[in-house]
Structure 1
């Protein structure tokens, strides 16, 4: 069992780092790690998955990715944030949130805080050769 929950993100991406810094202000107890420094096997995930989406590892060990990870993070917060988390988990909003997450992830290098590393193809991303 993993206590507290763990938020894993891409530490090479400025946009991701800024987003996680905002998440750290939420009223929730969590551990925050970059995928580059995390023992991903211990969290039952892979570098390939961690390169493509933010991950939330629940205390049960279940791994959520992308928009589902954001929803689970919000559900773990003190009120009123869980309302938003449960809304993002509702069928229609979950689908929309997934599309929005994928669009943002695909264009993160264009967003404020994005870095050139965000734009590189996966095989050229920092950490690729030693974490595959």
Structure 2
């Protein structure tokens, strides 16, 4: 499952968010990012997609569970709470202030993340299919049909 040249071009210079494509909470997170990413920087792919799996393998995260939120940015892969905080920082404005939570030790941040992740389907539901992006943002989804 190597990443093809078209995917490399689509992600060049863009942070990539990998999310659980059937998780209601994760889909809401993507829907939260889209309108706040005024520069259109972020690209998205479901963890379950071929592209998502290829990126996980490339960054040594092939054993990542579906509850892992991943941000690939500038040649580094960030997971769980660190990924979420870095996304907020990239959104800019008041959202970037939340990056200050990075001073909380990662085990504590990831514990809270884990509680939410373990209960995400029960709390937010599970979709039958991955998020279908609208035509205005479809090009930002790497695993679009």
Q: Same fold (TM over 0.5)?
A: yes
* Whole-angstrom CA distance in 1 between matches of 2:116 and 2:126: 11
Q: Confirm whether residue 49 of structure 1 aligns to residue 59 of structure 2.
A: no
**TM (normalized to structure 1)?**
0.72
- RMSD (CA atoms): 2.6
Q: How many residues align?
A: 114
> Among residues 68, 72, 88, which one is paired with 1:74 in the alignment?
88
Tell me how far 1:72 sits from its aligned partner.
Answer: 0.6
Tell me how far 1:35 sits from its aligned partner.
Answer: 1.3
Tell me how far 1:22 sits from its aligned partner.
Answer: 1.4
Cα-to-partner distance string for 1:7-64 (whole Å, 9 max, x where unaligned): 0001122222122211222235200111122222575143421523100001x21111
Higher RCO structure (Cα 8 Å, ≥6 apart): 2
Runs of 5+ in structure 2 lacking a partner?
1-10, 129-145
**TM (normalized to structure 2)?**
0.66
SS in 1 for 2:17: strand
User: Is 47-56 or 104-113 further displaced after alignment?
Assistant: 47-56
| Residue aligning to 1:127 | none
| Residue aligning to 1:27 | 37
Q: Classify 1:108/1:41 alpha carbon distance in 2 versus 1 (closer, same or farther; 3 Å).
A: closer
SS in 2 for 1:51: coil
